[in-house]
Structure 1
Amino acid sequence: MKDIYKLIVIVIGIHCSVGKAVAQPISVQEVNLPKIGQAVEDLPIGTLLNGKQGKKLSSYKRDLIVLDFMTSTCTNCLASIPKLKKLQESYSGQLKIIPVAYESGQVMTEALKRSGNFDNLSLDFVVNDTVFSRLFPHRTVPHLVWLYKGKVAAVTYGEYLNQKVIEELLGNKTIDLPIKNDYLEFDYTIPLLPRYTDSTRSYSGIMGYLEDADTKFGVQVDSLDGTIRDYAVNVTALPFYFYCYGKIHKIPFMKPSRIKLIVGDKDRFIHNPEVELFEEDWKIKNSISYERTSRLTDKLASRMAAIIEDLDNWYNVRTSFVKQKIPVWIIKEGGAATEQPEQMRSFVSDFAFMADLNVDFPPIINEVDKDRKMYAGKWDSFESLNTLLKRSGLQLIAEDRETTVFLMEERL
C-alpha cells in the first residue's frame, strides 16, 4: 500500500525537479539525449564530496557503472543511499554506483546528515557537477544512467536499480527497460478525438497510454467555438478521480487508510510489487488518456461530475466520498509543558499537516488552536510522537473516528 503515495500525490510528486538552469539546455530542441549503445567519453568524474578530484570512468575497471543523479531536496534520493551502498558491496568488482549532484559539497553534506546517511558513505559522491548533467540532460531526479563497458545501456527511474536488473544486465550484457525521457515532445493542445462542429453538445472519449507524452491534466478554452476541453493524459485511475473530486469539493490528503476499494481486481488501481515489480511498467499498462469537450457555459462542478460518471462507467464501479469510522491520531492539549517557550517555534497546525503526509501512519487530526506553537523533533511511532508532543504540553490520542474516505464499489 505504501506505493499508493506515489500515485496520489499529484502536486507534491515523487520526483524532484532539478533546479539548476546552467546544467539544462534552453529548449527541448537543443537537448541532445544519449542513445542506447552510445559510447561515453572517458572523462574525469569531477569533484567528490570529500573535496578530492575524482578519477576517470575507465579507472574504476568495472563492467557496470551507474550514475545516480540526485539533489539535496529529493528525500527519496537521500533515503536510497543505504541501498546504493549495499548493492555496490554485493557486486564488488563488477558494479560502481556514483551519486551525482550539481549542488555544492556543503549543501549535500548537510542534506545527507539530516537524512542520517552521511556517516560511512563509502560511495564516490560527485558534487558541483557540470559535466555529467550536460552529457545526460534531465529535469527530475532520481535519474539513473547505466553505463556498461563504456556505453549507455539504459536511462531509467530510480526504482529499476535493484538486484534483478543488475544481474540481468551483467548476465546478458544488454537489457530492455523503459527509457526515462524528461524532454518528451507532445502537443497537448491537439485534441485526442475528432472535433465536432456542433458546440451545443458535449462529447468525451477514453483511450490507453500514449507514448511520447508525460502525465498531464489540462483545460483548453476555445472562445470562438464556445467550448472548453478538459483532458488528462497518461493518468492512472485514483489520481484522476481525486483530481476531479477535488475540483468539486475539498478533499483530505488521500493516504491509503482513507481509500476503500471494494473491487475484485485492486491491482488495476494500486501498484502491487508482487504482481508488477516496477511501478513505471504498471503505469504504462494501467494509465488512460481522456478528454471531454463541453459548452463554455458549463460550470466546473458539472464538468467534473460528468468526467467522474465516465470513469465510473469505464471501470464499472461506483465512487463517492463518504464518512466512515477509521483509526486516527488526534493532537489535543495535554499537561504542563516541559520544553522552554523559546524552543517552541513551530505551529502545531504546520507540524500536523506535514506529519499527516506520512503514509505509514493513520490520519493525524489537529484539535488545538491554529496559533499554538510546539517544539518539533523527530518521531517514528505513536509512542515517540506522543513523547514529543508532551514536551510542549500536548498529547496524542488514538481512536476510531468518523472521517472522510474515498469509496469505490464494483458494480454487479
Structure 2
Amino acid sequence: MKNFYEEGRDMLTKKGCIPFNLNIITRTYIAKDFDLESSDVESYTKYLEFEIYEHQLRSKYKEEQDVTSSYGNEKVNNIVQTYFLQIIRLLENAYLKYRVAKLNFAQISLLLYFIFTFSPINVFCQNDFINSKITALQIGDTIPNTLWQLPIKVINHPNGRDTIKLSDYRDKGILLNFISSGCKGCIEALPELERIISFYDDDIVLIPVTMEKHDRMSSFFNQNEYTKNSKLTVITDDRILKELFIHRYISHVVWIDKEGIVHSFSNTAHIQDFTIADFLAGNTKSWPVKHEFTSFYESPIVSRTYKTEHLPNNEFKQLKYIAFTGYLDGVGAYYATSLDTLEGVERISIRNVSLLDLGLISTGLGLFKRGSVLKQDSSSWKVLNSGKYAFELYTGKNLTRDQWYQLHAVSYERTIPLGTSNADKYKLMIEDIKTFLGIDVIVKGDGLFFYEF
C-alpha cells in the first residue's frame, strides 16, 4: 500500500494535477450501503487509480486532430461519480463502526487522499481531462499516428524488450489477435497460427493481445505446453486496443495493412495461407466480418415495425410466421426461444447454423450429439453434397470456416402457440425443413440421416 500511495502521488504531481477541497457534507449520496472491510478499501482505491491513470495515458498520447474514443471526460466522470461516491459512503459507514471493521488509519488516510484529490467536480489536470476522445475504429479506418507511437507493454520479445510501438512493424501487415490465458481455444490455436505466419515473416506479423498483467502472462506463456516454445511477441496489460477494436468474444483478429488501414475483423480460424494471400493483395471486401455490436444482433428475423406495434388495435395480437434465410451478417449465432405471454406465442430462433446443427436441434437430439453424428458414414445420406451440411464434412481447401458458414449456413425462425409440447414443436420444425428446404431429417437410434428430394 505504501508504494502504491507514493507512486500515485508522484504520478499526480508530475501530471500537474491541482487538487481542490471537496465538501463531503453537501454531497448527495447515490451509492448503496456497503460494509467496509480492509480488502474493500484496497480494491476500490486500486481500481480508481487504474482508471484515472488509464485516462491520463490516453490523453497523453492523443493528438488534437485525432478523434480516437468516446471515452473522454464523460467516461471518467461517470467512473468517478459512481465509485467515489461509493467510497464516500463506505468511509462514512466505516467511521460509524470503526472498531468492528478493524480499519487502520493508513487505509483511511489513503481513501481520503483519493477522495480529496480526484473529486470529479474539483479536479483540474492541465492538458489531460479536457477534450480527450477515443472512438472505436471500423473497417476502412486508418490507424491514428498516436496509436503508432504508443508505448505498449509486451512479453517474449526476441530482443528482450518490455515495450514496443506498433510503428516497429509499420512496413508489415499486422494481425492483432485478442486472446486470454483462460481461453483454451485461443491458446491451442497459437502454434498453428505461428506456423502459418512464419512463411510470411517479411510481409506480416501476428501479435497476440491480452488485458492480463505482464508478470502473470509471462509466467503462463513460459510454462504452457502450447506457448512455451513460441517466438510470438505478446502485448499485455492492454486497455487501449480493446477500446479501439471493440468485441464481445475472443479470439478476435484485427487485420491491418501496411498503410495502417483496418481491413477486417475475424476469428482465428480465418487465418489461412490463402486468406493471407488475399489480404496482402487487398482482396478482403467479400470476407465475412465478425460483427458483435450491431443493433440487430439479437433481434428477431421477422418483427412488426415499431410504429405498427404501437397502434392500439395491433397490440397483443399474435404475430404468426415461418421464416428461412441464409447466413445473416451481423446477427448472433445461437438457438434461442422467446416467450411472449401477452401475445400467447413462443418464438423459436436459430441463427447462422449448419444444416447438420439445424437437424440436431429440430429432431430434439441436441447439439451434444454432434460428434457422434459426424462419425457416421455420411455416404448413407441421400444428398448431393454432404460438404454443405457441416464444415467438418467439407473436403475443399479454398474456404475458411467463416467463409463456409457465409456460404452454407441457414437461419430459421417461427412462432408457435405458447404451451406447445416439445414433441409437437419438433414435428413442426421438421415439417418446415421439408417444406422450405426440400430436406427430410430422420432419426434412427442415435443416428441422424438426411434425404433430399
User: For the structure 1 residues 45 and 141, does the alpha-carbon distance in structure 2 shift closer, same or farther, using more than 3 Å as the test?
Assistant: farther
Q: Which residue of 1 aligns with 2:432?
A: 310
Q: Of 402, 406, 409, which residue of structure 1 is paired with 2:448?
A: 406
For residues 5-404 of structure 1, what are the structure 2 equivalents within 5 Å? 32-40=136-144, 41-44=147-150, 46-50=152-156, 52-109=161-218, 111-112=220-221, 115-149=224-258, 150-170=260-280, 172-173=281-282, 175-176=284-285, 177-186=287-296, 188=298, 190=300, 192=302, 203-246=321-364, 252=369, 254-255=371-372, 256-258=374-376, 260=378, 262=381, 263-271=383-391, 272=394, 274=396, 276-323=398-445, 404=446
Amino acid at match of 2:441: T
Q: TM-score, normalised by structure 2?
A: 0.58
Larger fraction in helix: 2
User: For the structure 1 residues 281 and 251, does the alpha-carbon distance in structure 2 shift closer, same or farther, using more than 3 Å as the test?
Assistant: closer
Deviations 1:313-348 (A, max 9, x none): 33433323323xxxxxxxxxxxxxxxxxxxxxxxxx
Q: Which residue of 2 aligns with 1:10?
A: none
Tell me the matched-pair count.
Answer: 305
Distance 1:118 1:283 in 2: 29
Give percent identity, aligned residues only.
21
Do 1:109 and 1:118's aligned partners in 2 also have CA atoms closer than 8 Å?
Answer: no
- In structure 1, stretches of 5+ residues that fail to align are 1-21, 324-403
Amino acid at match of 1:223: T
Do 1:42 and 1:58's aligned partners in 2 also have CA atoms closer than 8 Å?
Answer: yes
Tell me how large the CA RMSD over aligned residues is. Answer: 3.5
User: For the structure 1 residues 292 and 105, does the alpha-carbon distance in structure 2 shift closer, same or farther, using more than 3 Å as the test?
Assistant: same
Do 1:245 and 1:251's aligned partners in 2 also have CA atoms closer than 8 Å?
Answer: no
User: For the structure 1 residues 181 and 33, does the alpha-carbon distance in structure 2 shift closer, same or farther, using more than 3 Å as the test?
Assistant: farther
Query: Aligned to 2:180, what secondary structure does the other structure show?
Result: coil
User: For the structure 1 residues 88 and 409, does the alpha-carbon distance in structure 2 shift closer, same or farther, using more than 3 Å as the test?
Assistant: closer
Deviations 1:21-71 (A, max 9, x none): x99999xxx973423242342133522224842221112343211111111
Do 1:145 and 1:154's aligned partners in 2 also have CA atoms closer than 8 Å?
Answer: yes
Do 1:31 and 1:137's aligned partners in 2 also have CA atoms closer than 8 Å?
Answer: no
How far is 1:407 from its partner? Answer: 2.2
Deviations 1:277-309 (A, max 9, x none): 112122122222222222224223211221122
Do 2:387 and 2:395's aligned partners in 1 also have CA atoms closer than 8 Å?
Answer: no
Query: Aligned to 2:390, what secondary structure does the other structure show?
Result: coil
Amino acid at match of 2:240: V
Which range moved further: 306-315 or 63-72?
306-315
User: For the structure 1 residues 53 and 76, does the alpha-carbon distance in structure 2 shift closer, same or farther, using more than 3 Å as the test?
Assistant: same
Query: Aligned to 1:97, what secondary structure does the other structure show?
Result: strand
Distance 1:249 1:62 in 2: 49
Do 2:135 and 2:244's aligned partners in 1 also have CA atoms closer than 8 Å?
Answer: no
Deviations 1:206-260 (A, max 9, x none): 22333332223222333233222222233222222222333x7896453421574
How far is 1:205 from its partner? Answer: 2.9
Query: Aligned to 2:154, what secondary structure does the other structure show?
Result: coil
Distance 2:366 2:205 in 1: 50
Distance 1:185 1:91 in 2: 37
Query: Aligned to 2:226, what secondary structure does the other structure show?
Result: coil
Do 2:352 and 2:411's aligned partners in 1 also have CA atoms closer than 8 Å?
Answer: yes
Task: Tell me which of the two structures has the higher relative contact order, counting C-alpha pairs closer than 8 angstroms and 6 or more residues apart.
Answer: 1
Q: TM-score, normalised by structure 1?
A: 0.64
Amino acid at match of 2:448: F
How far is 1:274 from its partner? Answer: 0.8
